[in-house]
Structure formats: C-alpha cells, structure tokens
C-alpha cells in the first residue's frame, strides 16, 4: 500500500464547523463539526479519490505523484486547558 501526502486547507465556517478543500484534488470537499472530524473525512475522501484514479488508470495529479511520506513537517491542532 502506498502513502501519499495531500495538502488540505481548513476553513472555519461562520455558521459553525469546518470545511476542508485541496488544491491537489479539486473534487475534494469535506465538512465536519470539529477539526479532527473534518480532517478524518477529508482523508477518507482523498483515499477514495486516489483509489479511483488508480483503478481507472488515470495519472495522479502531479503534486501528489511527487510527494511520498519520508520526512515532512505537519501542523496539528493541540487542545490545552487555559
């Protein structure tokens, strides 16, 4: 099984919750109540998109092809009591 990195952009919605989109996959959109939920849904959507591309013999977007998990920097939300 291959692992690829997909850039995800998170936006806080005015009416609550979050929206995830990606420049790597224009079809990727995910909405959730929390950051964690939204990222989990976005990851599932990205996995399904990659599987679909591969099953149909379509090339992955160029940015995805070049990115394998080796050593990357991630920004993750951390809850802390104030």
pLDDT at 76: 66
For the CA atoms of 49, 55, 58, 63, the dihedral, rounded to the nearest 10 degrees, stands at: 40
* Average pLDDT of the chain to the nearest whole number: 85
pLDDT band at 4 (very low <50, low <70, confident <90, very high): confident
pTM above 0.85, yes or no: no
74 vs 56: CA distance, rounded Å: 31
pLDDT at 55: 94
Q: Is the dihedral of CA 65, 58, 52, 23 positive or negative?
A: positive
43 contacts 25 by C-beta, under 8 angstroms: no
- As a whole number, mean pLDDT of residues 67-82 equals 64
Please tell me which residue, 54 or 33, carries the higher pLDDT value: 33
Of 4-18, 22-36, 63-77, minimum mean pLDDT range:
63-77
């Amino acid at each position: 099984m291959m692992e690829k990195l997909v850039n995800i952009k998170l936006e806080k919605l005015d009416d609550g919750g979050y929206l995830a989109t990606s420049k790597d996959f224009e079809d990727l959109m995910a909405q959730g109540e929390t950051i964690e939920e939204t990222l989990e849904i976005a990851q599932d959507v990205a996995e399904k998109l990659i599987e679909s591309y591969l099953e149909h013999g379509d090339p992955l977007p160029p940015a995805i092809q070049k990115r394998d998990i080796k050593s990357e920097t991630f920004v993750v939300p951390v809850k802390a009591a104030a």
